[in-house]
Amino acid sequence: MRPIIQSEVEELLRVFIGEDIYVHSEATSYVFVRNFKVKLSQAFVAGDGPYRVAFRFDQIGWLRMEALTHYELDEESRLLLAGYDDRGRMNVALHIGKEPFAE
């Protein structure tokens, strides 16, 4: 994974806007969602690092994740975002793709 560069992540997110996507989201506080299918209508990246990412879904509402630090686009064109603390431990993950994630 690479450190988030806001403009690069925003560009990658544009590919998913207007599409049905699958969301995987988790945080160390044991909040966990996997293969939640929604239509993404807006996506935002904010902050100076760590970053906040917010998704707006048609007819449903918003999902916002904070403390994101790294990203990658994997071989299956899924956008993987994660937040690591100063000891290298992952505290938060937000992944989106156009196909379901493996169970």
Q: What is the pLDDT of residues 45-101, one digit of tens each?
A: 999 989 999 999 987 899 999 999 999 999 999 999 999 999 999 999 999 999 998
pTM of the full predicted structure? 0.90
Residue 85: CATH number of its domain? 2.70.180.10
Would you say residue 36 lies in a domain? yes
Arithmetic mean of pLDDT, 6-12: 96
Would you say residue 67 lies in a domain? yes
Please report which helix (H) or strand (E) contains residue 102, including its range.
Answer: none
Would you say residue 70 lies in a domain? yes
Q: 28 lies in which domain range? A: 2-97
Q: How far apart are CA 45 and CA 37, in angstroms?
A: 21
> Residue 28: what pLDDT?
80
Would you say residue 48 lies in a domain? yes
Question: In 3-state terms, what secondary structure has residue 38?
Answer: strand
> Residue 78: what pLDDT?
95
> Residue 21: what pLDDT?
95
Both structure tokens of 27: 């945080």
Would you say residue 47 lies in a domain? yes
Q: How far apart are CA 101 and CA 99, in angstroms?
A: 7
Would you say residue 103 lies in a domain? no
Task: Say if residue 10's pLDDT is above 80.
Answer: yes
> Residue 103: what pLDDT?
75
Question: Which among 14, 18, 2 has a CA at the least distance from the CA of 80?
Answer: 2
Would you say residue 102 lies in a domain? no
Give long-range contacts, CB 8 A cutoff, 24+ apart: 40-43.
40/16, 40/96, 41/17, 42/17, 43/10, 43/13, 43/14, 43/16, 43/17
How many domains does the chain contain in total? 1
Task: Say if residue 30's pLDDT is above 90.
Answer: no
